[in-house]
Amino acid sequence: MAAQYDQSREFARPVLERVHAAGLFDLQIPETVGGPGLTAVEECIVQEELAAGCAGIALALIANTLALTPILLAGTPEQQERLLRPFTEALRFAAFGLTEAEAGSDAGALRTRARRDGDGYVLDGRKRFITNGGVADLYTIFATLDGTSQGITCFAVPKGAPGLSVGREERKLGIRASNTTEVLLDGVHVEAQDRIGGEGEGYRIALRTLLRSRATIGAAALGIAREALSCAIRYAQGREQFGRPIAQLGAIEQMLGEMGMRVEAARLLVYQAAQRIAEGEASPLYSSMAKAYAADTAMYVAGEAVQIFGGYGFMEDYPVEKLFRDAKIYQIFEGTNQVQRMVIARALVKEHA
Question: What are the beta bridge partners of residue 164?
Answer: 185
Amino acid at residue number 102:
E
10 is catalytic: no
Q: Where are the alpha helices (DSSP H) in the chain?
A: 2-8, 13-21, 40-53, 55-74, 77-89, 202-238, 250-278, 284-309, 319-328, 337-351
- Rounded to whole angstroms, what are the CA distances from 113 to 127, 151, 215, 340? 11, 9, 30, 28
DSSP string covering 236-256, please?
HHH-EETTEEGGGSHHHHHHH
Report the candidate in 235, 270, 271 with the shortest Cα–Cα distance to residue 256: 235
Report the candidate in 201, 244, 210, 228 with the shortest Cα–Cα distance to residue 300: 228
What whole-number distance in Å separates Cα of residue 235 and Cα of residue 321? 14
- The DSSP symbol for 53 reads H
- The DSSP symbol for 173 reads S
- Are 329 and 295 spatial neighbours (Cβ–Cβ below 8 Å)? no
Task: Dump strand ranges (E) for 59-217.
Answer: 94-97, 113-117, 120-131, 138-144, 152-158, 164-169, 180-190, 195-196
Q: Between helices 55-74 and 77-89, what is the axis angle to 10°?
A: 150
Q: Who's near 316: CB < 8 A, 6+ residues apart?
A: 3, 7, 322
Catalytic residue chosen out of the listed positions 17, 31, 334, 351: 334
Q: Provide the annotated active-site residues.
A: 334
